[in-house]
């Protein structure tokens, strides 16, 4: 297996021009977009439509009025949307369609859409991801970041996944993720140390960080095809 990583939004912006024809992309936006998606799918959500803009989300809602409109900007729920980006809100959406737009996570997912396989990654489904990608020859770990910058928590999750494959060929970026993950005693320590962890804690949302820090709680893995995420 060849393991690479996209470490920042600047790397992600180049993905639409990159040859991803033989690559499986695993997208991480741990605090909190992909953690919310994994939670929703694990709790029975039917499908998730990730879009890049608020306008796109609202337009899709007019076509699917029964869908739940969810998302955030600057970490807060978008005005008029039914849900924000709190993963604990995504446990009671069994059977629902979800339309979501977030600052970084949905952008990262859509930037990978030319790859033959795009998976939704989180600490919550880490063991399941390991099983799904074990036979892949080329894997790109996509760290969604925060606004235009690197996000520590995404690299931690990517590094933990990469560490499951000690015989893989790792690029320097992937090795950096592994080293980052190993620098913390627990994933929760890393998430609390991260910029986003500080921001969420300041808002009184430590419970969300603790939720996102759970390793391999769920067996659900979402796969995106034609802009739509469904459970494998």
Q: What is the DSSP string of 46-97?
A: -EEEE-SSHHHHHHHHHH-TTSEEEEEETTEEPTT-SB-S-GGGGTT-TT-E
Residue 151 lies in a domain: yes
CATH of the domain at 15: 3.90.1560.10
In a domain, 189, yes or no: yes
Question: Per-residue confidence of the chain (232 residues) as pLDDT tens digits?
Answer: 999 999 999 999 999 999 999 999 999 999 999 999 999 999 999 999 999 999 999 999 999 999 999 999 999 999 999 999 999 999 999 999 999 999 999 999 999 999 999 999 999 999 999 999 999 999 999 999 999 999 999 999 999 999 999 999 999 999 999 999 999 999 999 999 999 999 999 999 999 999 999 999 999 999 999 999 999 9
- Name the domain count of the chain: 1
Side-chain-side CA neighbours of 198 within 13 Å: the count stands at 6
Closest C-alpha among 183, 176, 103 to residue 144 = 103
Burial of 114 (0-12, 13-18, 19+ CB in 10 A): middle
CA distances from 229 to 25, 34, 118, 223 (A): 13, 11, 9, 5
What pTM value is reported for the model? 0.97
Phi, psi of 118 (to 5 degrees): -125, 120
User: Do the domain assignments include residue 226?
Assistant: no
Q: Is residue 227 part of a domain?
A: no
Confirm whether 228 is domain-assigned. no
Q: What range does the domain containing 26 cover?
A: 2-220
Which string of b and e fits 148-165 if b means at least 16 CB within 10 Å? eebbbbbbbbbbbbbbeb
| The two structure tokens encoding residue 109 | 């997912």
Q: What is the pLDDT of residues 141-150, one digit of tens each?
A: 999 999 999 9
Confidence (pLDDT) at 33: 98
* pLDDT single digits (tens) 164-191: 999 999 999 999 999 999 999 999 999 9
Residue 64 lies in a domain: yes
Residue 232 covered by a domain: no
225 lies in some domain: no
- Rounded CA gap, 88 and 92, in Å? 9
Interaxial angle between packed helices 195-202 and 152-162, expressed in degrees from 0 to 180 and rounded to the nearest 10? 120
């Amino acid at each position: 297996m060849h393991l690479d990583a996209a470490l920042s939004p600047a790397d992600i912006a180049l993905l639409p021009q990159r040859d991803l024809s033989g690559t499986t992309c695993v997208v991480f936006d741990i605090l909190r977009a992909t953690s919310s998606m994994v939670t929703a799918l694990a709790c029975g959500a039917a499908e998730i439509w990730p879009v890049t803009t608020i306008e796109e989300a609202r337009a899709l809602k007019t076509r699917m009025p029964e869908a739940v409109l969810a998302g955030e900007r600057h970490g807060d729920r978008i005005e008029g949307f039914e849900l924000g980006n709190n993963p604990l809100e995504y446990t009671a959406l069994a059977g629902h369609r979800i339309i979501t737009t977030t600052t970084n996570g949905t952008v990262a997912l859509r930037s990978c859409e030319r790859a033959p396989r795009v998976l939704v990654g989180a600490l919550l489904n880490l063991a399941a991801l390991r099983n799904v990608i074990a036979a892949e020859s080329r894997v790109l770990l996509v760290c969604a970041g925060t606004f235009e910058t690197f996000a520590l928590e995404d690299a931690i999750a990517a590094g933990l996944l990469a560490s499951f494959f000690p015989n893989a060929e790792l690029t320097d970026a992937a090795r950096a993720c592994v080293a980052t993950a190993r620098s913390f005693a627990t994933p929760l320590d890393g998430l609390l140390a991260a910029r986003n962890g500080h921001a969420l804690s300041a808002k009184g949302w430590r419970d969300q960080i603790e939720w996102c820090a759970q390793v391999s709680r769920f067996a659900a893995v979402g796969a995106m095809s034609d802009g739509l995420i469904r459970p494998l």
